[in-house]
Amino acid sequence: MAHAVRFHEAGGPEVLRYEPVEVGEPGPGQVRLRHVAVGLNYADTYFRNGTYPIPLPAGIGVEAAGVVQALGPGVDHVSVGDRVTYTGFVNTLGAYSTERLVPAAPLIKLPETIGYETAAAMTMRGLTAAYLMRRIYPFRAGDSILLHAAAGGVGLIVAQWARLLGLTVIGTVSTEAKAEIARAHGCDHVINYSHEDVAKRVRELTGGVGVSVVFDSVGKTTFEASLDSLKRRGLMVCVGTASGPIPPFNPQLLAMKGSLYLTRPALADYIADPAEKAELAAELFDHVGAGRIRIEINQRYALQDAVQAHRDLESRKTTGSSIFVI
């Protein structure tokens, strides 16, 4: 019997339930997939707590890696036995499961150099890092960036990728332990925002100029400091709201602070084109397979422990990537 983590009402981690489920046979364009490892992402908490409203009851999770078990009519993109990974099934949440039906078209075949656990730990984070590094801004060697949550799953990949591009990386963290992790993964400078003034320190580190780009996954509590860290005509990239939504503001503020740019991108819009998705995935797999980018899996859980996993994630006890091992 297959099992899945589901929730019947929005709320805290305690609403998650580990339940038996019927999977059935794949329909047109679908495959039945046996999961080997499942990704745990901060975005999962937004669905669970109602920040991203969805019809309930529902499954949860948008990222996993596994083996194709059966094909539905019309599927020719993959074959039975293929090793695959995926991310982004927002309309059909359910990655927190031992087995499930999924659309075949978005599946990404895994090269032999990438294991299941690595894939589950990096498909969403890695593709996010890929578009942030390769699509958001025309980086040139010597540019500087401010990277919030530098010791997180996306942060560690972005920091390593940025170093490959010759960028100067200023990371922010909440503890000295996380600072050491950030330095070990490519951050040239680390700011502990628990006791340092982020914008002031960024100005000191950049000779008063500021950074070209800020990648801010924290949101409410860092927004103002992020804007104040940018150089004239710099780009603010809002990639998450871990501390809460950014308050409404007058766009005139961007002009007053140096004709700044602001964007709130979503991964789905950068992998909607199959060709672009394949290109980003290939570059990601190449870097990881060759060891130029290391994927740190620092927390492993059983699906039955989803409640604890979410508690750890929201209390900021985790570093790097977290996965469920089936």
CB 298 within 8 A of CB 320: yes
Q: Computed from CA positions of residues 102, 107, 112, 114, in that sequence, does the dihedral angle turn out positive or negative?
A: negative
Q: How far apart are CA 198 and CA 14, in angstroms?
A: 35
Query: How far apart are alpha carbons 248 and 276 in whole angstroms?
Result: 33
Q: What is the pLDDT of residues 48-86, one digit of tens each?
A: 999 889 999 999 999 999 999 999 999 998 999 999 999
pLDDT band at 208 (very low <50, low <70, confident <90, very high): very high
Total residues belonging to the chain? 326
pLDDT of residue 215 exceeding 90: yes
**Mean per-residue pLDDT, 269-277:** 93
Supply the pTM of this predicted model: 0.89
Dihedral-angle region of residue 208 (phi above 0 means left; psi in -120 to 50 means alpha; beta otherwise): left
- Summarize pLDDT for 141-175 with one digit per residue, the tens: 999 999 999 998 899 999 999 999 999 999 999 89
For residue 90, the model assigns a pLDDT of 66
